[in-house]
Structure 1
Amino acid sequence: IMSWLADVTVNKPHGENPITVAPSSKLPALSLRGTPPPGSRQRLQELGPAGFAAALREQKALAVTETTFRDAHQSLLATRVRTRDLATVAPYVARLTPQLLSVEAWGGATYDVALRFLGEDPWERLDALRDALPNVAIQMLLRGRNTVGYTPYPTRVTDAFVREAAASGVDIFRIFDALNDVSQMRPAIDAVLGTGTSVAEVALCYTGDLLDPAEDLYTLDYYLRLADQIVGAGAHILAIKDMAGLLRPGAATRLVTALRERFDVPVHVHTHDTAGGQLATLLAASAAGADAVDAAAAPMAGTTSQPSLSALVAALAHTERDTGLSLPAVADLEPYWEAMRHLYRPFESGLPGPTGRVYTHEIPGGQLSNLRQQAIALGLADDFELIEDMYAAANDILGRVPKVTPSSKVVGDLALHLVGSGASTEEFKDNPAKFDIPDSVVG
């Protein structure tokens, strides 16, 4: 009975087990004998981090990072995909898509969820994927001083973590800070630079709409000043991290153009497809000169995940920005991901299709699925639209911060608390002391 209680507590009663097909039966008919073709990892080892970044800036083809191994399932399936299901397909990815810039496979919530929910060692996952992907650079998401946690750690912790991650196979570290505070990213940047072997890709977190004439905070000048600090801190690559999918095509054109005019480092665009229009944003960024973009395998793409990889490859085929990826090869991997997603159906985010409401509530793609699960746990599932509205209101109360871990959790916790207590934002602002404010909000 204790096992049953533990299972219900952790996994919750998700209903009947889905009828599934073994994902492994959907793998491409491909021999895994011999080593995969050389790829971005060999290029990094040959050129070094600075040379690797310079070559990326000079190449005409649009480089692509594949996010299915990390952000896609974090955004769609609450990060529940197990190591064995990722390691099974990784050798096929290495052989069919060696032209990838990188595979984002570690960091973010994968570390936490592996330990707390999957009963796995995240370092063993990294080892397994490194063995299976010897030719493609592995990328991770690093939360600045928070590393893969939710609170700032001493510099010595950041140094030790980055050293071990690099030694275990992380080639590219995408570093960000939830408040775009470069001083909070510097220890991580310095640690990555100190490895001498790994690339420091440093992100500016995008929010708002820089094309809006009424925008007085997150303007083009704001992002250019931030980018200047990031490049000055030693970044090899400059990333635009659009957590909620708010970067519209016109804004992407203006921002990417301005960044490339002012800085010599490559520009890498990351977004989420919550509203359904972000392929247009990636194509606009590409036309403006972006050096790399993120995409996910089609069955794991769309909504809170990234735009479809096969759609991107097809859109740019036979153009000067052709990705170099084979569309049939990319498509051959899709049946596996489709079967795997069906296997994890109990952990689906609950968002059946795109929603334009994201332009109002601005909830990050990686948070929306988890916020819905929190609402269900609190008995607020029927009020989710109200929670979305309250999220926007809570964001205003907290000063319109960029919303990404951990700041997004602060906004979400406050929104859930206010909806759960039946309070209005006016009541909260009039007398916040009378509320049992969540610990994350208090700080």
Structure 2
Amino acid sequence: MGIRLDGASAFSGAIISPYYDSLLVKVIAQAGDLESSCAKMNRALREFRVRGVKTNIPFLLNVLENQKFLNGNVDTYFIDENPQLFKFTPSQNRAQKLLSYLGTVLVNGPSTPLATPLKPAEIKPHIPAIPIDILEPPRGLRQILLEKGPEEFAKAVRQHNGLLLMDTTFRDAHQSLLATRIRTHDLLNISPYVAHNFHNLYSLENWGGATFDVALRFLHECPWERLIDMRKAIPNIPFQMLLRGANAVGYTNYPDNVVYKFCDLSVQCGMDIFRVFDSLNYLPNLILGMDAAGKAGGVIEAAISYTGDVSDSSRTKYDLKYYTNLADELVKAGTHVLCIKDMAGLLKPKAAGILIDAIRQRQPDVPIHIHTHDTAGAGVAAMLECAKAGADVVDVAVDSMSGMTSQPSMGAVVASLQGTPSDTKFDLRNISEYSAYWEQTRTLYAPFECTTTMKSGNADVYLNEIPGGQYTNLQFQAYSLGLGEFFEDVKKAYREANLLLGDIIKVTPSSKVVGDFAQFMVQNKLTADDVLNKAEELSFPKSVVEFLQGAIGEPHGGFPEPLRSKILKDMPRVKGRPGESLDPLDFGKLEKDLREIHPTITEKDVMSAALYPQVTNDYLHFKEAFGPVDKLETRIFLTGPKVGEEFDVTIEKGKTLGIKTLAMAEDLTVNGEREVFFEMNGQLRSVFIKDKEAVKELHIHPKADKSNKNQVGAPMPGTVIDIRVKVGDSVEKGAALIVISAMKMEMVVQAPKAGKIASLNITQGYKLEGDDLLLTME
């Protein structure tokens, strides 16, 4: 470090690296007084970029902004008496990190797994213009909510003339069609247009459900920042999220204080309406989520998950009385809005009229909101029937993001109701422009398209009952497990698995249980009879075992017997609400532990870690290594730029990087790295990226001999996440040996017999193929 004052008019600073004595840069700033001279030096130091070594620039900047120093009131004890000078945030170095990301994608391929061989289109979607002379978007229902509170908001909805719409384009539509892969970058591009032209929406669904997990896991962006940024762009339309009751936005139960804190932080970041549901319609879980949303100040929209067919008198498990009784309970528990959540698109038009009319007669004052999927192609007809029967709000998606496993078409519903008492008062020309943006944007996500296999509506959903939001994810899971060509078999097995489990309500996380079960059956070529007959010998997916233990609640009609007893044997069972017995999470300890590894975390990161510990940790490591990748255009984020391509990246307001990809070295360095060359803001830059394929050692893992009863093989491809035994351990039949994870599905491999562990052939984190040898027993 070097600091020297020359009179009152000049300041000189030496920038020194503590690691390289030879690196010394001297900067002199001169002005009429010390304060002006310091201001010049401050700007000069902030514009310095020294890569690859640490410098004392952050310390010097602290000195330059210290008021005692600016007043010239310093002596030789100045540094000793001001230890805060050494407290500074390390340089973000975002530009260089982004180059490292781009280089990594160019050398090693996409960081986000692409589900199909299709590539993103080379297109920049046209963003429709908004009037430049109108600064503020028109008032919407959110102003009523902010000014008068949830109860008055609900009254305004019930008294509204005409049918209200919720637009799902920002969440469920792309979850259902594109495996939840739409990035914040593309959502923010169209947000101002939505704020100005769709201000009379009931709400915009833009958060919760799978978007939280996928944002962290696959898109490498913070879901909280997405919510905050969208709130700034759309201040007038209520935001709506999907809350999985006691499961929050996860797949398991959490301590109650986690759910309450999550809802509170969500409201602080801009959330308004919480659609609270439980995957089994289990009231204790539902009521916990409702209470958490209400105490946070949000609108409670309690949802009844719909399955079966109330228009078919032969289907008696989920009859009309079941739904009307449940609606009464949710109104009694304090819901502001009542929702029917038809997550698989099973609500036929006739059933819709029967169900909504029955609930409306019993609950004349409560707004009714209907959610469906258009998987079979009957969604528009069903929503029109709901409006006729007394529903206040229905879910739609903009035309180019509607249909099939998504929601019914916004344009079709709007046009069908024009000139009727239910007229929505939306302008079809605005819908057309909005749709055109998404039609182009959707082509950027070609690798995730459900239309690679599903080209039209499919009425087989009335048989398999696969939720629309699960359909594409289930398809991509099947591909990752090597079952892509057997997806029709997976769909049939889904129906069988559901019936084996007792015909349960299927929505996250119970739908994951059925999906895991179905893929397990196809992977191992098991029929329903095989499962029943061999249940005591098989190693079932972890989610199936936990469901049968009662980890997500109790299904209507109870658990299936004797299957439950055969699978669980003497494993423990959960009684009552699963999360009730969990100790409160110590957020202080969690933050302390997380900050030791990631010093710059925020309260939002801690909350994410409470829900998804490993996923959040991986996200934070990725962000620290590669910077704000969410600022990249989607095609470049997914597959990288072409050699010679020029593009801009705006990393914050007023700071845009001009990048050009120049070349990639053909030869490897001695460390197995390739040098990738860029030009950034006119300056030559390069990064060294390890080529994973070039340096990968040839290693063939042995397969388990199925004829040898002492060898235990991997029941599916995946990653070893837990090894619960060691060589020499004696185990009983059915004991947990290894835990394998693949695409969010975890499976516990159990001992096929009693014996001793003779050898282990895997280690923690090992990548496995199906039938790879895990261990040998004796």
Q: Which has the higher helix share?
A: 1
Give the corresponding residue for 1:278: 379
Residue 27 of structure 1 deviates from its aligned partner by 2.2
Q: What is the CA distance between 1:18 and its match in structure 2?
A: 3.8
Is the Cα contact below 8 Å between 2:373 and 2:408 reproduced in 1? yes
Cα distance in 1 for residues equivalent to 2:517 and 2:323: 27
User: How far apart in 2 are the matches of 1:42 and 1:167?
Assistant: 16
Question: Is the CA contact 1:20–1:339 (under 8 Å) kept in the aligned structure 2?
Answer: no
1:11 aligned residue (113, 116, 120): 113
* Conserved? CA contact 2:294–2:300, under 8 Å: yes
Q: Deviations over 1:217-251 (max 9, x none)?
A: 10000001111111111100000000000000111
For residue 317 of structure 2, what is the amino acid of its counterpart? L
The question of whether the paired residues in 1 share the 8 Å contact of 2:464 and 2:494 is answered with: yes
Q: Which of 443, 447, 467 is the equivalent residue of 1:364? A: 467
Residue number in structure 2 paired with 1:412: 515
Residue of structure 2 equivalent to 1:399 = 502
Q: 3-state SS of the aligned residue for 1:371?
A: helix
Task: Give the letter aligned to residue 199 of structure 1.
Answer: V
Structure 2 CA distance, aligned partners of 1:32 and 1:152? 49
Partner of 1:289: 390
| Higher relative contact order, structure no. (Cα contacts within 8 Å, ≥ 6 residues apart) | 1
Q: Residues 100 and 325 of structure 1 are in contact (CA less than 8 Å); yes or no, is this contact kept in structure 2?
A: no
Report the alpha carbon displacement of residue 185 of structure 1 after superposing the two structures with TM: 1.6
- Confirm whether residue 21 of structure 1 aligns to residue 111 of structure 2: no
Of 510, 532, 536, 1:433 maps to: 536
Q: 1:430 to 1:32 in 2, by over 3 A?
A: farther
**Corresponding residue for residue 339 of structure 1:** 440
Tell me the residue number matched to 2:321: 221
Deviations 1:286-332 (A, max 9, x none): 00010000000100000000001011111111111011222211212
- The structure 2 residue matched to 1:313, chosen from 402, 411, 414, is 414
Aligned residue among 368, 379, 390 for 2:493? 390
Question: Which of 366, 377, 397 does residue 265 from structure 1 map onto?
Answer: 366
Q: Distance in 1 between matches of 2:206 and 2:319?
A: 32
Shift of 1:21: 2.1
Task: Give the equivalent residue in structure 1 for 2:332.
Answer: 232
The one-letter code of the counterpart of 2:385 is: A
Of 255, 258, 263, 1:157 maps to 258
Residue 11 to residue 30, structure 1, CA distance change in 2 (3 Å): farther
After superposition, the CA RMSD in angstroms is 1.6
Q: Would you say the 8 A contact 2:115–2:448 is kept in 1?
A: no
Contact in 1 for aligned 2:105/2:111 (Cα 8 Å)? no
| Alignment partner of 1:354 out of 457, 460, 476 | 457
Alignment of 1:171-250 (within 5 A): 171-196=272-297, 198-250=298-350
Letter matched to residue 72 of structure 1:
A
Deviations 1:235-278 (A, max 9, x none): 00000000000000111101111111111211000000000111
Q: CA deviation at 1:389?
A: 0.9
Q: Which residue of 1 aligns with 2:675?
A: none
Count of aligned residue pairs for this structure pair: 441
* C-alpha displacement of 1:386: 1.4
SS of the equivalent of 1:11 reads coil
**Counterpart Cα distance in 1 of 2:109 and 2:287:** 41
User: What's the counterpart of residue 442 of structure 1?
Assistant: 545
How big is the shift at 1:383? 1.6
1:4 Cα shift? 6.6
Secondary structure of 2:357's aligned partner: helix
Q: TM-score, with normalisation over the residues of structure 2?
A: 0.55
Task: Answer whether contact 1:189 1:200 (CA < 8 A) is retained.
Answer: yes
Conserved 8 A contact 1:37-1:95: yes
Q: Which moved more, 1:45-54 or 1:199-208?
A: 45-54
CA contact (8 A) 2:114 2:447 kept: no
Q: Verify the 8 A CA contact 1:28 1:333 in the aligned structure 2.
A: no
For 2:441 and 2:487, the matched residues in 1 are separated by 28
Q: Tell me, yes or no, if the aligned pair for 2:115 and 2:476 is still in contact at 8 Å.
A: no
Which of 191, 210, 224 is residue 90 of structure 1 equivalent to? 191
Q: CA deviation at 1:46?
A: 2.5
* Alpha-carbon separation, structure 1, partners of 2:249 and 2:296: 18
SS in 2 for 1:139: strand
1:374 equivalent in structure 2: 477
For 1:203 and 1:275, how far apart are their aligned partners in 2?
A: 22
Question: Match of 1:258, SS?
Answer: helix
Change over 3 Å in CA distance of 1:404–1:97 after alignment to 2? same
Q: Which amino acid aligns with 2:341?
A: K
Could you give the per-residue CA deviations for residues 13-56 of structure 1, whole angstroms, max 9, x where no partner exists? 74353433211x24246437500000011021223101111121
Larger Rg: 2
CA distance 1:49–1:422, shift in 2 (3 Å)? same
Summarize deviations over 1:403-427 as a string: whole Å, max 9, x none.
0000001001111011110111101
Q: Which residue of 1 aligns with 2:356?
A: 256
Superposed, 1:59-78 pairs within 5 Å as 59-78=160-179
Q: Is the 8 A contact 1:28 1:332 kept in 2?
A: no
Q: Which runs of 5+ in 2 are unaligned?
A: 1-102, 547-778
Kindly, what percent of the aligned residue pairs are identical?
Answer: 47
For residues 354 and 141 of structure 2, what CA distance do their matches in structure 1 show?
A: 29
The structure-2 alpha-carbon separation of the partners of 1:33 and 1:354, relative to structure 1 and needing over 3 Å to count, comes to: same
Output one character per residue of 1:416-443: Cα deviation in whole Å (capped at 9) or x when no partner.
0111101111011112122220111111
SS at match of 1:64: strand
> For residues 289 and 419 of structure 2, what CA distance do their matches in structure 1 show?
39
Question: Residue 145 of structure 1 contacts residue 158 of structure 1 at CA under 8 Å; is this kept in 2?
Answer: yes
| 2:118–2:447 CA contact under 8 A, matched in 1 | no
- Is the contact between residue 299 and residue 338 of structure 1 (CA under 8 Å) also seen in structure 2? yes
Query: TM-score normalized by structure 1?
Result: 0.97
Give me the whole-angstrom Cα distance separating, in 2, the residues matched to 1:252 and 1:40.
27
**Which SS does the other structure have where 1:69 is aligned?**
coil
Q: Secondary structure at the match of 2:200?
A: coil
Contact 2:260 2:296 in 1 (8 A): no
SS in 2 for 1:188: helix
Q: Is the 8 A contact 1:26 1:339 kept in 2?
A: no
| Structure number having the greater strand percentage | 2
Q: Aligned pair 1:329/2:430, yes or no? A: yes
C-alpha distance in 2, partners of 1:32/1:175? Answer: 40
Residues 419 and 262 of structure 1: is their aligned pair in 2 closer, same or farther, counting only changes over 3 Å? same
Task: Check conservation: 2:338, 2:367, Cα contact below 8 A.
Answer: yes
Per-residue deviation at 1:12?
3.6
The answer for unaligned runs of 5 or more in structure 1 is none
2:301 aligned counterpart, secondary structure: strand
Aligned to 2:403: 302
Q: Which amino acid aligns with 1:390?
A: A
- Between stretches 5-14 and 107-116, larger displacement belongs to 5-14
